[in-house]
Amino acid sequence: MNKIYQVAIIGGGASGLLSAVELLSGNNALSGEEVVILERNDRVGKKLVATGNGQGNLTNEQISRENYHGNKGFITAFFPLLNEIDIRKYLEKLGIFTFVQEDGKIFPISLQANSVLDNLRYFLDAKKCQLQTNFYVDIVEKKDDCFLIYSENKVVKAKYVVCAFGGSAGKQYGTDGSSYRLLENFGHKLTNLSPALVQIKAELKEYKGLKGVKEKAKVYALDGEQVLSNVEGDLLFTEYGLSGSSIFKLVGLQNAKNPKVRVELLPWLSLEELLNIIKTRKELKIFPNEDLLLGIVNKQLGRIICKKYFREEDIAFAVKNLEFKVTGNLGFNYAQVTKGGIDTNNVNPFTMQSKLVKNLYLTGELLDVDGDCGGFNLTFAFVSGILSARSIKEKKGE
Ligand SMILES: Cc1cc2nc3c(=O)[nH]c(=O)nc-3n(C[C@H](O)[C@H](O)[C@H](O)COP(=O)(O)OP(=O)(O)OC[C@H]3O[C@@H](n4cnc5c(N)ncnc54)[C@H](O)[C@@H]3O)c2cc1C
């Protein structure tokens, strides 16, 4: 006869790990032998290690409701709890110290996401938390008061289940969207899914060779000539198009008939100021024409513009109005998060418990909640994981 765990957590990502940490901490803490994490990969936290370009943008100094998208009712109800659990202080108690960047993004002081994972692993090991890797959950059933969780010829039994198996973004990290059906089998509905925080594919034409060039810019999403949104921030030229925090924040392109991105370089200078600078430099008569923009914008980018345009007015205008036709995005494999997910109408926003199945919890990216770029998605994953654990501990303590 198989052992019956108190809690089985499906998915050892950001949310599942924090759920486990909270279950094994504080009042009514469970013992490690009562909690098992089931992870399909050969190790936990593969995606966590890749976050923030390996530096781990864990959270943000300024978090507002507007940073989250999905069912507004759920987000509004959940938001006070998200604010109440100060994730920075929470991590500090585990030995993970962080700092705030100028733009409000919060990183571990090591600037290494893998150190955060190591720290969590040390904590869970010290508490003797059980872990089964290479365990791809393909069926979950409930019989009487017990969940049966199957993977090929193995079965794990538990009284409570926390589903923390992530979404559809980044299948190389174990999240290919194949696990939603575990919840659909219990009657939970899935909303429409699309990739978010993802690179744009664009016709770069003469700007194609700029892969890796990064600029601060104001970018505009356009449908034909109509401006849909605009954002100031980092812009990165890639092999296939455009990326960077500014591109991630643009809205409206997906439904546009004639989607384009306009890039305004040097947004802190007016067109007139820029023109004066270019004219002054031309009058110096020391620069070849192709280097008129040297020291003003990226050298390679400046050369492309100066080869294309000759008059100073046209050069200045081009710097402020680079336009690229958008042909799509790089899709789920390259997206950082999933827009859409399990419908939150059937999830309690205070506890993350299913309203359809008692003792079943849903946390993190699998839910129809997605955050902006800047640490908001990890924050949601962490906090929803913690809330699920608090609810389970309370119920157990009753
Ligand atoms: C490249 C990249 C960079 C990112 N950078 C940031 C950042 O800097 N800041 C930020 O806030 N967000 C960032 N994100 C988003 C953030 O990482 C995710 O939103 C967050 O990890 C979601 O946490 P989660 O626990 O819900 O899911 P995940 O972290 O995706 O974990 C889910 C886990 O479940 C496992 N799993 C799936 N199905 C099963 C199954 N059937 N059985 C067993 N195990 C299963 C998976 O293998 C995975 O380990 C980034 C994402 C990517 C891809």
Residue 47 Cα to ligand 1 midpoint, Å, equals 5
Question: pLDDT-derived band of residue 128, with 50, 70 and 90 as boundaries?
Answer: very high
Cβ atoms < 10 Å from Cβ of 282: 14
Beta carbons of 236 and 244 less than 8 angstroms apart: yes
CB burial of residue 158 (10 Å; 0-12, 13-18, 19+): buried
Residue 103 Cα to ligand 1 midpoint, Å, equals 23
Q: What is the mean pLDDT of the chain?
A: 95
DSSP code of residue 199: P
- Main-chain dihedrals φ then ψ at residue 236, nearest 5 degrees: -125, 130
> Does the pLDDT at position 397 exceed 80?
no
Q: What DSSP assignment string belongs to 226-256?
A: EEEEEEEEEEEE-SSEEESHHHHH--SGGG-
The protein residue with its alpha carbon nearest to ligand 1, atom 26, reads 364
148-192 pLDDT tens trace? 999 998 999 999 999 999 999 999 999 999 999 999 999 999 999
The protein residue with its alpha carbon nearest to ligand 1, atom 20, reads 378
More confident residue, 356 or 395: 356
**Structural domains for the chain:** 4-195+336-397 (3.50.50.60), 200-329 (no CATH)
Predicted pLDDT of residue 326: 97
Q: State both tokens at 171.
A: 């299948």
The protein residue with its alpha carbon nearest to ligand 1, atom 31, reads 13
> Does the pLDDT at position 268 exceed 80?
yes
288-344 pLDDT tens trace? 999 999 999 999 999 999 999 999 999 999 999 999 999 999 999 999 999 999 999
Predicted pLDDT of residue 252: 86
222-247 pLDDT tens trace? 999 999 999 999 999 999 999 998 99
Over range 32-56, report the average pLDDT: 97
Predicted pLDDT of residue 394: 94
For ligand 1, say whether the CB of 374 is within 6 Å of any of its atoms: no
For ligand 1, say whether the CB of 199 is within 6 Å of any of its atoms: no
Q: State both tokens at 381.
A: 């994953």
For ligand 1, say whether the CB of 50 is within 6 Å of any of its atoms: yes
Distance of alpha carbon 115 from alpha carbon 344, whole angstroms: 32
Over range 270-283, report the average pLDDT: 95
Percentages helix, strand, coil for the chain (3-state, rounded to 5) are 35, 30, 35
Whole-number percent of the chain with pLDDT over 90: 94
Over range 134-161, report the average pLDDT: 96
Residue 170 Cα to ligand 1 midpoint, Å, equals 8
**Alpha-carbon dihedral sign for residues 103, 49, 183, 35:** negative
Find how far residue 210's CA is from the centre of its chain: 26
Q: State both tokens at 30.
A: 């469970």
Q: Relative to the CA of 138, which ligand 1 atom is closest?
A: 41
Whole-number percent of the chain with pLDDT over 70: 99
71-97 pLDDT tens trace? 999 999 999 988 899 999 999 999 999
Predicted pLDDT of residue 398: 66
Over range 25-43, report the average pLDDT: 96
> Does the pLDDT at position 27 exceed 90?
no
Predicted pLDDT of residue 1: 53
CB burial of residue 276 (10 Å; 0-12, 13-18, 19+): middle
Q: Of the candidates 385, 343, 337, 387, which has an alpha carbon nearest to the alpha carbon of residue 365?
A: 337
> Does the pLDDT at position 110 exceed 80?
yes
Identify the residue whose tokens are 């859409």. 340
